[in-house]
Amino acid sequence: MQSILRSKTIRVLALAACATALAAGTAWAETAHPTPNNPLLEDGQREALRVIALTGSVDAWQELNADQLAAVHKKAEYFLDLYQKQHQPYGQHADMYWMDYGREQLARYEHIGDSATWLGYHLAGLAYRYAVTKDAKTLADIHRILDTYDMLIRISGHEGYIVRFAGKADDPYYIPYYQPYGRGEDPERPGYGTWAWRGVEPWEDWVWLGNSSRDTYTGVFLGYACVLAVVDDEAAREKIKTQASLILDRIIADDNSIYDGKQYRTRLTGWLPVMMWAVGNAVAPDKYGETYETLSQQAIGAPTPPVQRHTGDYFANNLRYSRIIAVAVLEKDAERAAAYKRHMEAIWRNSADHLNGGFAAMYAVVCGPEDVTARAVLQGTLYEFWDTPLWMTGVVNSDREDIETVDVGTSKQAKYALMIPERHLSDIIWTRRPFTLDEHQDHPYEFPGLDLYVPYWMGRYAGAIPAPSTAPRDEAAE
């Protein structure tokens, strides 16, 4: 249901962007939709991925050659650079809805209700990039994100509550988003959506987005965990200690729930509290260690979270992987670490056939780079990931006779995961169901590409993606 709502939301926001442009007297340009490009693996490599989609495993994988490794590295650097130059208003995360495909005029920021979430994934990617390259700029970028999070947990006045996004109230690209945000414009506060609020001092001229979800906290704490695990920097650690302590103390004070200080409350469930208190235990064990050990025992003894496939909320799979990797990379106790690894192995066995590079990267970080199937999925999907700007692009596969389908309710889906070039180009492809046959959405709506460079640097760190032969360390540091 959640993925369906996201899809409907994009359509509604697309219409809203059109209405905003028309109201402003701005004409939409007639530029053509750019043709996306996917590099294709060699025949044997593609066949290996098809075998995985059919059976869930493969016995052998032809590793990416030097040219292929260089191409994937180049894409990772390209999308990271694009993200930092174009998709980080106020140091946060945003998709961009343009007036045309030439990027001549921006219509509005998009997807910023999940901004704090995806900023955490970006932070995780930077953490592993720094662990591999020791690049000074990457460390500075990590600190900038931590400073942004410090603002996000204070701007509401309910200190320790993580808001979804915050920006200037008079920003013309933000106003169309926050005015109806939530359940439409608040009749008691004209100009503000029911989930949008003015900041407290010194951010009185800013607006923050509330009703934060478990997704928000998952993304933030994933970023914290990865930095603590692989970035040897005391200043970053101290920032995380301060922020995580404020957040956990706020959760405790608000009856172990996420509460925005206004009207919306969300309970912690599943592995999320384990993840959060694992970070707390890492920075302040005397304060949070006992609760963490209790939560850890409960999670370890529970069944591995189920994997959603043709039905259910596919996005939940990403949350489950994210929570398990966070606790696993922080764990110092050998017995608990082994238990977390078993949970990761179980969830991977049930989703390896999804051809999901994001899942494969997190699996490799926790369980090591030796698994041939995981290496194939990670290397293969990242190589076939688009190497052109990521414009929302529809796809039609239902008329293909070579794709075996299954009935799901009143519609059909592919029985086996589609290859990357056959999928709908949308936000964070690893959160999208790989069995979807058709999607009819084509808009000048641009995605940032963190779904390429985050798993790339995780894979590089884990040893599941070899370094390119063209001095990647020097190239990354430039």
For the chain, 478 residues long, give each residue's pLDDT as a single digit of tens.
Answer: 333 334 444 444 444 444 444 344 444 444 688 999 999 999 999 999 999 999 999 999 999 999 999 999 999 999 999 999 999 999 999 999 999 999 999 999 999 999 999 999 999 999 999 999 999 999 999 999 999 999 999 999 999 999 999 999 999 999 999 999 999 999 999 999 999 999 999 999 999 999 999 999 999 999 999 999 999 999 999 999 999 999 999 999 999 999 999 989 999 999 999 999 999 999 999 999 999 999 999 999 999 989 999 999 999 999 999 999 999 999 999 999 999 999 999 999 999 999 999 999 999 999 999 999 999 999 999 999 999 999 999 999 999 999 999 999 999 999 999 999 999 998 999 999 999 999 988 899 999 999 999 999 999 999 999 999 964 444 433 3
Alpha-carbon distance of 69 to 54, in angstroms, equals 26
DSSP 398: T
Burial class (CB in 10 A: 0-12, 13-18, 19+), 39: middle
Alpha-carbon distance of 13 to 17, in angstroms, equals 6
Alpha-carbon distance of 146 to 243, in angstroms, equals 9
| CA end-to-end span of the chain | 44
| pLDDT for the residue numbered 11 | 41
What is the Cα 421 distance to its own chain's centre? 20
Phi–psi pair at 411, nearest 5 degrees: -125, 180
DSSP 43-91: HHHHHHHHHHHHHS--S------HHHHHHHHHHHHHHHHHHHHHS-GGG
DSSP 388: S
Provide the whole-model pTM: 0.92
| pLDDT for the residue numbered 33 | 87
| pLDDT for the residue numbered 470 | 64
Q: In what order do the strands lie in the sheet with 445-447?
A: 106-110, 95-98, 445-447, 390-391
Cα four-point dihedral sign 330, 332, 336, 339? positive
Closest to 222 measured CA to CA, from 146, 305, 325: 325
Alpha-carbon distance of 171 to 343, in angstroms, equals 45
Structure tokens at 64: 């990416």
Instruction: Render pLDDT for 300-331 as a digit per residue (tens, 0 to 9).
Output: 999 998 999 999 999 999 999 999 999 999 99
Alpha-carbon distance of 453 to 259, in angstroms, equals 33
DSSP 150-166: HHHTTTTSSTT---SEE
Helix %, strand %, coil % of the chain (to 5): 55, 10, 40
| pLDDT for the residue numbered 440 | 87
Q: How many residues does the chain have?
A: 478
| pLDDT for the residue numbered 475 | 42
H-helix or E-strand containing 447? strand 445-447
| pLDDT for the residue numbered 32 | 83
Structure tokens at 229: 């695990």
Alpha-carbon distance of 227 to 57, in angstroms, equals 31
